[in-house]
Structure 1
Amino acid sequence: MRKKWLAIGIPISLVLLTYSFFFSTAEKTLLLDVNEDKLVIDSGIDEAVPVASISKMMTEYLILESIEQGIIDWSDPVQISGEAASKEGANISLSEGDVVPIHDLYMAMLLPSANNATVALAEHLADSEKEFVKKMNEKAEEMGLTKSTFVNATGLTELNSQSNQMSARDIAVLAQLIITRFPEVLQDTAKSSHTLLFSGERVHTTNHMLTKSDLAFDGLDGFKTGYTNEAGYCFVGTASRNGQRFITVVLGTENDQARFVETKKLLSFAFGEPYRPPLEASLDRE
């Protein structure tokens, strides 16, 4: 039987054997070579599962597309509705009637994964979150994301137990589309914090690979965390060195730190360096 080889000349069997020494504790795992547009490692990547705030990536894409098309501008004011202001989970300080620039809401969605900011953006782009969700599903179909279904803009689990569903493969495709079409987004996803113009509130990223030295990885500049009881702890990561970029997807780990540990394992393998485990654990739900 003929051996399969990766583009870099390493037998796939050897890759899988090497990675098995520290095989992922996540339910779904993916490593994508962006330059070659090729999967290096994958496990359970075609099953649709709850993905929590990872689904905010689709909201992000639609915002960036609307900016590019001139439909909205970063400085446009958004009046906060009662529905947005009352959204549960991770949030920034917003009250009904507040008027906030789109860019502030966008950064609040991107870094601390604020649900109230996300709903405010959705309502601004489509009059209601329900109408915005239609746009999310239409865009997913247009992108060929066949295992993706959205029921809200935030990724929260609905009272009827419905939630946004995506496969790890679909997530990687979406991440790649965002990064290649809107590369400037990486300047924001690489930030550990940001000060909101309208309130002076300083918001912080939930991506601990940017904030904790023992989880840090050289070249990492994004991308998005997610957590609900149904989804577990999730993380989409990306890193670039010397023009080579990889995207990782880690879904369904049991604790906050594990999603970053598994990402660091994947990226260490991708860039051919020894994996160095973190010294201590930390917890953060988002």
Structure 2
Amino acid sequence: MTIAKLARRLLLLVTIACVPAVWAAETMVPAAPQLAAKAWILMDANSGAVLTESNSDQRLPPASLTKLMTAYIATLEINRGRIKESDMVTVSEHAWRTGGSRMFIKVGTQVSVGDLLHGIIIQSGNDASVALAEHIAGSEDAFADMMNTTAQKLGMQNTHFMDATGLPDPNHYSSAHDMAILARAIINADAQHYAIYSQKEFFWNNIKQPNRNLLLWRDKTVDGLKTGHTDEAGYCLVASAVRDGMRLVAVVFGTNSEQARAAETQKLLTYGFRFFETQSFYKKGTELAKAPVWKGDAREVQAGLANDLTMTLPRGQAKKLHAEMVLNPQLTAPIAQGQVIGKVEVKLDDKVVHTADLVALQPVEEGGLFRRLWDSIRLFFYGLFN
């Protein structure tokens, strides 16, 4: 169930400080817009919360949205030091002959990794996608294996790639939900390379081609990501926008025109920013509490979160929430770094609406023999009187 559906059913009891009255107020979130599309999803990029969706896990042809994975792997390889943007790639005949949208690279010439990356993201070049895939993995088939392995690691459960471009194949499919997951990964992985997705045009080899994402011209808060189109897939779009520190990802599959995919995606973004907000409670790795430890070489351990605690909620609701720490009783050494030692409970009044694990921020080894014996005695008597 999406947040929008939950919000419409949630009755909030708001206690006014110093006034002995309780007022009931319903969080007013209207029904999400229905789109002229086969599938769609709206997701908060920070929390991963799904605000609304329709058929978002249905397996559909993704067309050139495929190139989001092609570009993502390329940026991962750059950041890992395995390739450089200055590397020169020799264009194979296979890359040159690939049909569909093109960067217009020529067989036998050399093009830099950086230019190919721009050609993939901005011009949606199939030829550039194949050339870069061959440079990274040796062949497009081998690169497709890398794409599928990466998809599995990201949790893209309804995705399978056969090529680096998105040209039609019965075994090449994805879903709106999976593309939102991939978009989040791209946004969070590398701010420098993500900036390419906001560029409106790319000039290469005396040819200037525009970015097909019309929302880059219509909405100044939109800064990515990618369009796609084939006769089988229809017109598809993955878009992201940020307003007042809140970033949303909207994915639309299967509209009937270039104008329609932009208009339907804009409906999702408008709905999300109008009726929802994102609240960050705690950052990962920050000490939130100290937990007592028995039989250890230290008497206590720092407790914090393994991941940021961020929630997306109907507007006005975040200020009514509060968080509490609940530590596990009788923590006994040894304790490993990252071991779960409690939880954070986010509450609306007395109702828990979200939980997150508290983990040990550093290890605690076993104490010496005397410490262990003494704590065993203390625990014995503690058990008798509690």
Q: TM-score, normalised by structure 2?
A: 0.63
* CA distances 1:102-136 after superposition (whole Å, capped 9, x unpaired): 11111011011010000000000011101111111
| Cα distance, 1:42–1:95 mapped onto 2, change above 3 Å | same
Asked whether 1:124 is paired with 2:124, we answer no
| Cα distance, 1:147–1:41 mapped onto 2, change above 3 Å | same
Distance 1:107 1:36 in 2: 29
Larger mean Cα displacement after TM superposition, 187-196 or 57-66:
187-196
User: C-alpha displacement at 1:163, in angstroms?
Assistant: 5.0
Given that residues 234 and 252 in structure 1 are in contact (C-alpha distance below 8 angstroms), is that contact kept between their aligned partners in structure 2? yes
The match for 1:146 is 157
Alignment: residue pair count: 257
The match for 1:63 is 74
Given that residues 4 and 11 in structure 1 are in contact (C-alpha distance below 8 angstroms), is that contact kept between their aligned partners in structure 2? no
Amino acid across the alignment from 1:46: D
User: C-alpha displacement at 1:232, in angstroms?
Assistant: 0.6
The match for 1:173 is 181
Amino acid across the alignment from 1:207: N
The match for 2:269 is 267
Larger % of strand: which? Answer: 2
Distance 2:70 2:7 in 1: 37
Larger mean Cα displacement after TM superposition, 201-210 or 78-87:
201-210
Given that residues 201 and 211 in structure 2 are in contact (C-alpha distance below 8 angstroms), is that contact kept between their aligned partners in structure 1? yes
User: C-alpha displacement at 1:207, in angstroms?
Assistant: 0.9
Asked whether 1:111 is paired with 2:122, we answer yes
User: C-alpha displacement at 1:245, in angstroms?
Assistant: 0.3
Larger mean Cα displacement after TM superposition, 37-46 or 179-188:
179-188
The match for 1:38 is 49
- Runs of at least 5 residues in structure 1 that lack an aligned partner in the other structure: 274-286
Distance 2:269 2:138 in 1: 40
Equivalent residue of 2:136, what SS? helix
Asked whether 1:225 is paired with 2:227, we answer yes
* 1:202 maps to which of 201, 208, 230: 208
Given that residues 53 and 113 in structure 1 are in contact (C-alpha distance below 8 angstroms), is that contact kept between their aligned partners in structure 2? yes
* CA distances 1:187-215 after superposition (whole Å, capped 9, x unpaired): 2111101223xx2432321111224xxxx
Identity in percent:
35
Distance 1:217 1:154 in 2: 27
Equivalent residue of 1:4, what SS? helix
Asked whether 1:186 is paired with 2:190, we answer no
Given that residues 189 and 223 in structure 1 are in contact (C-alpha distance below 8 angstroms), is that contact kept between their aligned partners in structure 2? yes
Asked which structure has the greater CA Rg, the reply is 2
Distance 1:189 1:95 in 2: 24
Q: TM-score, normalised by structure 1?
A: 0.85
- Runs of at least 5 residues in structure 2 that lack an aligned partner in the other structure: 13-24, 276-386
Higher RCO, 1 or 2 (CA under 8 Å, sep at least 6)?
Answer: 1
Equivalent residue of 2:252, what SS? strand
Amino acid across the alignment from 2:209: V
The match for 2:83 is 72
User: C-alpha displacement at 1:91, in angstroms?
Assistant: 0.4
Distance 1:82 1:102 in 2: 17
User: C-alpha displacement at 1:96, in angstroms?
Assistant: 1.0
Given that residues 123 and 202 in structure 2 are in contact (C-alpha distance below 8 angstroms), is that contact kept between their aligned partners in structure 1? no
Given that residues 16 and 41 in structure 1 are in contact (C-alpha distance below 8 angstroms), is that contact kept between their aligned partners in structure 2? no
* 1:24 maps to which of 35, 38, 44: 35
* 1:83 maps to which of 87, 94, 98: 94
Given that residues 55 and 164 in structure 1 are in contact (C-alpha distance below 8 angstroms), is that contact kept between their aligned partners in structure 2? no
Distance 2:101 2:26 in 1: 44
Equivalent residue of 1:166, what SS? coil
Given that residues 62 and 173 in structure 2 are in contact (C-alpha distance below 8 angstroms), is that contact kept between their aligned partners in structure 1? yes
The match for 2:384 is none
User: C-alpha displacement at 1:4, in angstroms?
Assistant: 2.6
Distance 1:15 1:80 in 2: 53
Given that residues 52 and 164 in structure 1 are in contact (C-alpha distance below 8 angstroms), is that contact kept between their aligned partners in structure 2? no
Equivalent residue of 1:271, what SS? helix
The match for 1:277 is none
User: C-alpha displacement at 1:11, in angstroms?
Assistant: 6.8
